[in-house]
């Protein structure tokens, strides 16, 4: 485990305290891939809160504070309306809740595309105000100059190619990418451009498997698949998707638990006990000292 816990007597909640463990670094992640091979695949999940980070930290190499929090946390129709303030608030919470995994924070739409200088201003604020290890941005060849600008100024960058959700209005939906030869070649070119610009890893999302495999074989930095291929150098999923919090999930998600059913069942039992006046019981109430009530 990467943490121990102290009981806060004022709130009766357990808070994590650092255990003697060094947090994973961006160079350590980059060095997982040697001569085109990653012997130990990279594990990444999304996290948006301190408690979620505590629960996931021991099992993950990377925690991604994804702009998917727009839909997952705020009920927005897409990630496009997500703001830098949202990302910073959640990013800082995840950093506070973790001690082992390297934390990556998504750059939201509109905060980095205008110019490398604008991207640096936004990314520097994210790094300073959250304490994260790196930022992630979407886009391939068009963003290569920006990636190079950031990396040269001390900001590690994770790239993202294929299905890029922030560009959903241009793409026309969330369908798989790379089905045509032209599109497949473009995605491969995007990945190569990001690698050459200095990205330490690249997320490949929602592409046909042969394209994901070709990219993984073509670039020297690790690839992180989501709806791509098991042959990528690592994998990422939205945690709430893989835990079955939502009724519908993308085709590429494997649901490992059904928390929606668990939560609904617990809430129903609670409601029944409240209405029957059987909760709270004596174990959940405070009695006068020495009282023989009950």
Report the binding-site residues for 3-methyl-2-oxobutanoate.
Answer: 67-68, 106, 136
| Among 205, 257, 261, 273, the one annotated catalytic | 205
Contacts of residue 215, defined as CB under 8 A and 6 or more positions apart, other chains included, come to 161, 187, 188, 191, 202, 204, 207, 223
Give the three-state DSSP class for 31.
coil
- Hey, how many other C-beta atoms are within 10 angstroms of the C-beta on 221? 21
* Residue 18: both structure tokens together: 């650092």
- By DSSP bridging, strand 13-18 and strand 42-46 are unpaired
| Rounded distance between C-alpha atoms, residue 280 and residue 263, angstroms | 19
Neighbours of 39 (CB within 10 A): 8
Let me know if 217 is a catalytic residue: no
Provide CB contacts within 8 A for 88, sequence distance 6+.
105, 125, 126, 129, 130
**Binding site residue list for Mg(2+):** 67, 106, 138
CB 205 within 8 A of CB 227: yes
| Collapsed DSSP state (helix, strand, coil) of residue 102 | strand
Name the residues annotated as catalytic: 205
């Amino acid at each position: 485990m990467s943490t121990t816990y102290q009981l806060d007597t004022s709130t009766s909640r357990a808070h994590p305290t650092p255990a003697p463990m060094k947090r994973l670094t961006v160079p350590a992640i980059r060095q997982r891939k040697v001569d085109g091979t990653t012997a130990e695949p990279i594990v990444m999940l999304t996290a948006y809160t301190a408690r979620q980070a505590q629960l996931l930290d021991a099992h993950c190499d990377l925690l991604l504070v994804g702009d998917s929090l727009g839909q997952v946390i705020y009920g927005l129709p897409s990630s496009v309306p997500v703001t830098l303030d949202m990302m910073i608030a959640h990013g800082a919470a995840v950093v506070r809740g973790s001690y082992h995994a390297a934390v990556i924070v998504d750059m939201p739409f509109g905060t980095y595309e205008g110019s490398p200088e604008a991207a640096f201003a936004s990314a520097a604020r994210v790094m300073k105000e959250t304490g994260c290890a790196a930022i992630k941005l979407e886009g391939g060849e068009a963003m290569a100059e920006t990636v190079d600008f950031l990396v040269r100024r001390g900001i590690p960058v994770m790239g993202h190619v294929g299905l890029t959700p922030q560009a959903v209005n241009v793409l026309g939906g969330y369908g798989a990418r790379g089905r045509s030869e032209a599109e497949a070649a473009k995605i491969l070119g995007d990945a190569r451009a990001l690698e050459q610009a200095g990205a330490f890893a690249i997320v490949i999302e929602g592409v046909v498997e042969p394209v994901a495999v070709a990219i993984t074989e073509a670039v020297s930095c690790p690839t992180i698949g989501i709806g791509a291929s098991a042959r990528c150098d690592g994998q990422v999923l939205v945690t709430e998707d893989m835990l079955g919090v939502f009724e519908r999930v993308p085709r590429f998600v494997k649901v490992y638990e059904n928390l929606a059913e668990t939560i609904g069942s617990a809430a129903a039992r609670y409601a029944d006990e409240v209405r029957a006046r059987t909760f709270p019981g004596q174990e959940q109430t405070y009695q006068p000292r020495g009282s023989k009530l009950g």
